[in-house]
A = this chain, B = another copy of it.
Amino acid sequence: MSVDESRPAGGLREERKARTRRAIREHALRLFLDGGYDETTVEQIAAAAGVSHMTFFRYFPTKEAVVEDDDYDPLIAESVRARPAAEPPMTALHRAVRTGLDTVLAADRDAVYARTRLVVTHPALRARQWRNAATTESLLARALAERAGTPVDLRLRVIAAAATAALITALTTWVDHGGADDLRTLVDEAFAALGAKPR
């Protein structure tokens, strides 16, 4: 996510790229929600966004990638590092996730729900999400390790993986109930099941 600082980020090129990226993503999500994920071809998305299908793949490595939210993980990792070192790891993750969630939900709850629903519902996207979960986990494990000043070991990796699993389970339940529940309550319950102290 680092931007080449030697070139001003506000140049016409950068701006254009950002706009194209946003356009592709927005049109893709709209088309997915309208006509279904499988039924929507990359060609259609590209056409809707006014680019060729090659350009699509230059911005997103796969069709699935366009649904991902890449900003969320680093945000949580950051939060983890900010937690006091004395806090038990699972509790630290819980609170970090809560913080991140509050931020994201406050911004655009409906968009988050729509996207989550898409991912949870569709097998291919779900699989993709889990693949990314591996990245999330090592990111979180490293954050935990840095916070505690210890090396990354099996214990921390398991805790990070379990926390990710808890979060995903909460998200799945959220969607299964049609978004009726309060997601934050579900997350709290999920972490409670892993023995994280609520406070």
Contacts and interface: CB of A to CB of B under 8 A. Distances in A.
Contacts of A12: none
Contacts of A130: 127, 130-131, 133-134
Interface string A155-199: 111110110111011100100000000000010011011110000
A128 interface: yes
Interface residues of A, number: 31
B193 A159 contact: yes
A162 B193 CA distance: 10
Q: What number of copies of this chain does the assembly contain? A: 2
25 contacts: A127-B128, A127-B130, A127-B131, A130-B131, A130-B133, A137-B169, A154-B173, A154-B190, A156-B193, A158-B165, A158-B166, A158-B169, A158-B170, A158-B189, A158-B190, A159-B194, A161-B166, A161-B168, A161-B169, A162-B162, A162-B165, A164-B165, A194-B194, A194-B195, A195-B195
Interface of A: 123, 126-128, 130-131, 133-134, 137, 154-159, 161-162, 164-166, 168-170, 173, 186, 189-190, 192-195
